[in-house]
Amino acid sequence: MEANAFPGGGTGFIAGNIPGNSGTYFIYRDTVQATAVNAALGNIYPMANGFAGLATFVRPLFDYSVVNDANACGGTVTLQTPETYSYCANNASVTKDFQGAFFPIGTTKVTWTITDSNGNTDTACQYVTVIDNENPTIEAMPATTLCYNASGNYQVPSLVATDNCGIYSVSYVITGATNRTGTGLDASGNFNVGSSTITFTVMDVNGNIKTGSTDVIITAAPVAAYTVSTPDAFCNQLVLTANAAPGASYTWKQGTTTVSTQQTLGLGLTNTDGTYELTTTTSNGCTSSPVTYVYNKQTVAGNYTILVANDVKLGVGNKVVTGSVGVMNTLGRAIFEQNSSVAGMGAFVKAPKVYKYGTGINLASVILGRATVTLPSMKYNTASTKNLRNYTVNRNTTVTLNGNYADLIIREGANVVLSGDNFKTIRIGAGARVQFTASVINISDVVVEAGTSSANTTVRFAADAEMKITGSVQLMSNTRVNPDQRKVTFYMGDSNNDDERFTVTGTNIQFTGNVYLPKGLIKLNPDGRSSSTNSNVFMTGFFITQNLESTLPNVTWNSYSCGNALPVVSSGWTSSQFTTAENKTTDESFTVQVIGNPSTSYFTLKLQSSSQAAVQIRVTDATGRTVEAKANNNANSTVQIGHNFKPGIYYAELLQGSSRKVVQLMKLR
């Protein structure tokens, strides 16, 4: 009798091995089974072992189910060697068909095999299941802020996503200012101005899902804009001012050249004509489209020093050092005599007709045609002097007058502070010192009489002021008007159909201020007493008039930016600050003489004083910027300054204790 295919893989046995070899047989896999059954039957049956039957087998196995190792597409499972049995041998071998302990995602079948020394085998199967429960990883995505562009398309950073087993798909939805969907890691493309949110959905190959979001903020481009300074203000350079924006920066360009990175751009004679561009950049780096301004220096009133309606005549040696000369009427003329010049940097002469009489005339640029500009607003004296009383200040008297007067006479050598603002006539005597404190002064006529070389007749202003004149102004030799360089404008005109006159007669005269005389004449002429060809007359300001004529030789004309006043030692008159020919004080015991002025090289200051106190020297240019300073100079000495000065007008301020001197210097090419 032979048995085959027993459970557990037994190879069989031969019935002849059983004693008696006849009757009913119960076949069991092993003695354990047989013994158990025979016991249950009361041990009434004999048992015998068959030859090699069910000789070797493997105990039943358990299956495994685990999750993946972190960041791995699989899991580690250590399988225990199964329990086996061999009847005929104790040295059976056990093997499996899967090597190692790391199993891939999914279910893996492992087959175990036992083989004894007689070649008998048995097998058993075991299943290992590894489940991927790890979601994809998405790197942090900070918000992206971009500046608006006309195309509406923007490049944004791509999503960075990884997975332990691999990415299957990526999709995104954009909401907020922009609404669209798409697939892939890169959501670049169209975005609207404002804040948009991109929400990404990442799925791995095993169905695990991870979402993440980021914002894209499109900032609207700033709008560049500027304002142009009003032409109604004297002494005002044309200024373009960019509209302010918090944290913004500004760039002004002409062509490809950056000319300023300030909020304001000043344009004057030294700037070239043409188109200027402004761009504004916000704090987050967004830059506006450029806006432009077309600059033509000929149309800007502030670029002129002399501007007449009809005729301008500059006599022998008259030099317009800074600023230009313009004639506004179609039949107007500009006349220049021997050695006269308009040759400052960027300066020009613009008139329908230009005449030159003599040699040595230097006109840097001549433009034939009318000077077409927007003039400042005219202001008129409308105050009445009716019922005002007359008053006379005695010679060599120091006094403060608080009222208004009809005819005010200030005798020679007097020191007077005037706080009133309405006068009919003021006559200032030789060597007198007068200071106005009001900001608006109404006067019909002013006469500033000739002083002496050691005691100039001086008119000062405590602050910027408007002088509204209905009649005339007369300045004579050895006079100083506004030596502290306040912003002072003489508005000369009235409702009558008569001419006003601003007259400068003589030598050694320094005037700083603006004169606006729409109908009438500004005239400079010799006094007939001086034989010198150097008038030592300096006219600094903006002179607008119907006609201007200078027969004084070698007058120096300069434009003036105003508002650059040097420090004043005192706002009032004191006996230690003023002098007259009859009563010299400590102020005049300190004198300054300039040797070589104007100069093409340097200036020599000759200092003389009865005091031995050191003298402090500070030099400023026409804009008020300090260009040279010399401290602790000996009281009675000579000091050289200005070796490196560029051509132009400068002011040297000298202080010795409470004594102060200011002298004007002119550097020529």
195-216 pLDDT, tens digit per residue, is 999 999 999 999 999 999 999 9
With beta carbons less than 8 A apart as the criterion, state whether 519 and 309 touch: no
Q: How far apart are the C-alpha atoms of 110 and 81, rounded to whole Å? A: 12
**β 304-314/543-550 pair status:** parallel
pLDDT score recorded for residue 574 = 35
- Give the phi and the psi of residue 37 in degrees, each rounded to 5: -70, -45
Q: How far apart are the C-alpha atoms of 619 and 630, rounded to whole Å? A: 9
The CATH number corresponding to 591-667 among 2.60.40.1930, 2.102.10.10, 2.40.110.20, 3.30.70.20 equals 2.60.40.1930
Cα–Cα distance list, 165 to 39, 99, 105 (Å)? 57, 21, 9
**567 Cβ partners below 8 Å, 6+ apart?**
653
Q: How far apart are the C-alpha atoms of 298 and 304, rounded to whole Å? A: 8
Residues in the chain: 669
**β 603-608/637-641 pair status:** antiparallel
Q: How far apart are the C-alpha atoms of 427 and 407, rounded to whole Å? A: 8
pLDDT score recorded for residue 529 = 67
pLDDT score recorded for residue 610 = 86
Fold of 56-131: Immunoglobulin-like (2.60.40)
Gyration radius of the chain over CA positions: 54
391-418 pLDDT, tens digit per residue, is 999 999 999 999 999 999 999 999 999 9
Residue 544, token pair as written in the block: 């607008």
Continuous segment of H or E residues that includes residue 37:
helix 31-40
Q: How far apart are the C-alpha atoms of 285 and 221, rounded to whole Å? A: 10
Output the CA torsion 544→546→551→556 (10° steps).
Answer: 10
Fold of 226-295: Immunoglobulin-like (2.60.40)
Ranges of residues in the chain with a pLDDT under 70 are 1-31, 34, 45-58, 87-90, 231-233, 235-236, 528-533, 562-588, 623-624
DSSP string covering 200-211: EEEEETTS-EEE
Residue 209, token pair as written in the block: 């899902």
Query: Same CATH topology for 56-131 and 137-219?
Result: yes
Chain centroid to CA 43: how far?
112
Residue 226, token pair as written in the block: 């500027």
Please tell me what DSSP assigns to residue 178. Answer: -
Of residues 498, 491, 542, 501, the one with CA closest to residue 525: 501
CA angle (594 as vertex; 339, 611 as ends), nearest 5: 165
**β 488-492/514-525 pair status:** parallel
pTM comes to 0.63
Specify which residues 393 forms β-bridges with: 410
Of residues 355, 315, 321, the one with CA closest to residue 338: 315
Q: Where are the domains of the chain?
A: 56-131, 137-219, 226-295, 301-368, 391-558, 591-667
Q: How far apart are the C-alpha atoms of 20 and 605, rounded to whole Å? A: 156
Residue type at 441?
A: I
- Give the phi and the psi of residue 157 in degrees, each rounded to 5: -60, 140
* Strand, coil or helix: 38: helix
Burial class (CB in 10 A: 0-12, 13-18, 19+), 436: buried
Residue 508, token pair as written in the block: 């050694």
Q: How far apart are the C-alpha atoms of 48 and 260, rounded to whole Å? A: 116
Residue 307, token pair as written in the block: 């501007």
* CATH superfamily, region 137-219: Immunoglobulins (2.60.40.10)
- Give the phi and the psi of residue 413 in degrees, each rounded to 5: 80, 0
pLDDT score recorded for residue 57 = 66
